[in-house]
Structure 1
């Protein structure tokens, strides 16, 4: 699928779609719980759909009806379900479900599409091996497909925190191990995503201790998840695209459904846009507009790596130089987002160069071009924002990837005034 995007000015009100991070955690916990859970307004396409399949593969019963999921959990029976976990494009789902799959002695095999096969997971598998699991990586050149088998026994382990998902996966599974677990995290990144997991554990009354800097955890074993009844919070990562779109097109948007008490790290995007000079008002709903000149600045993206693609477009609009830095983990997402955004924005005339841990971007006048989304949902949507702010016509390949987290992107943004046309392949 291709999108054709032309210059646009966005105005209106947008209801922000549900959070991928919360949806996947809700499904994993509900699948492991003792009883029946209700998940309202989940993300049901892309990564959310992969998590539904993974919950079923664990042995849970999942029914979908009227934008609501009913999940009957496995209640401690860790050896049921299927051998194969087909995770599609979902890196988060693969990582979070991998530890849970090792709770029992059943051999489980994880696989996905070509993009997922390129992503790292060995640091998590090595950490699980220290707790009693065994694993096999089937290829010498990539870390998926892999098989894993438990049961996990607890004890001490260390995990590389280059991806917060490795940490969250262990934190979600370890309470269900018979014995206590002492987890040490090295090279910690993306702390707000770990905080999302801790929010869930606290909500469910799980017993654990941790250091203030989130590098040491002691998780009490022998616990059980109770069923949940939750409405999935709105997704600040998806809201980032609307916020930036309002700014770069000189429009005015109102975003509804966001809860700024939620631990999602991408809520700080609104703070960044304010510091760059945008008019951002946070009341009962968030109003975003730009009647003033944006200014370049240094932005530390370590806690919100998913914001890099969209903020790189905002940086093109800002005067002077913008450095998006301290985000080396952006290189191990669905794509190397640092390299990809540098390449694709350069095609549109941007003055941008790579650093090992980010991008340096000068004020640039963008021009329409034929660009690639690299099968990465956030890259596709960011390039759509660039096309709305560019002269002429922008054609984006692999645009179907946007459905991973934002299946209604085109519909929602056209309602706000975006000039987007879909071309089916």
Structure 2
């Protein structure tokens, strides 16, 4: 689940931000360790002054009165002056920083908090001296320091941190944009190339999940369009080739200038041409996809088909339930079953339709006693315009689309079509559908 999240665009962006933050943190630590090896970081304002003042006052409180001058002399520093006075002169300046320092000192010295005062002495700029007054008995400690009230934050470590932060975030963001944009640019280039040439290599599926899905959808679309264009080209070639024979016969009959034209022959050739054109157009348009689904009694349909073929003189029998409910496109199913029976009648003398129904599936077998299909040609025969032997080419009205249409119809109903050799001879065309009851 976590891995799938980080394969998405938002997941990768979050990963990039987290990675850049970690890298920046490590670079800052490295910079500080190189600039200040072995040195702990200085305390922020106001704790630097607070620690020194509290230490001085604590030492003075614990020392005897005659020892205090020595302590004051030892605590003096270039940036800090300390005096012990009876009545000191109090400065008048007050700022937010002096107020904050006063509050901190009082919290650190609660026993004399009411005798702590912090003021500024000077013109009020950042270099003003800080005056800290702390009462000790009848005396007052007057501490003045030159340390700026506002600490300088724009130091070399801070500058390095900001610089590394900008570099890391910019670098990682550039890489992220390149990683996302590169597959999109390839997709755009492939789409542009596909507009000029149908047969292009599939697009590599890479990048975030959304981009990979778009690439996969593009590849599938490209495959479907290429296959459709190929099928249409083959259809035109096959139909134009097969129409030449009846057209030639009709031309010869008309050119013979006979007193009585062979009307039945011409009508038969016209019907043959119409059958071929109708079959080709139906395959190309996929008209069964637009039909609405409804409940159909497959048992009654198969029984009716068997009776109709027997009335025409064909040896077709049906064995199976008289009633099998199936939610489908009725015209498409009728056409697929009719194509199977027509094929079986053409290549065999006797056709037997066997249907069975279980709780899971509906199975329909159309069996003939013809020559069958070689095992290595089973996959080819369901492709459009494939006719395996010369005898198939002589079949009136056939352009090699019968089994292709059956395959398309069955697949549209989420079923399967199998062609099985029937011992000792013949073929079994088996259709399997999931039982929808």
Q: Same fold (TM over 0.5)?
A: no
The structure in which a higher percent of residues are helix is 2
Higher RCO by CA contacts (8 Å cutoff, separation 6 or greater) = 1
**Coarse TM-score class (shorter-chain normalised):** under 0.3
Q: TM-score, normalised by structure 1?
A: 0.22
Rg comparison, structure with higher value:
2
Q: TM-score, normalised by structure 2?
A: 0.22
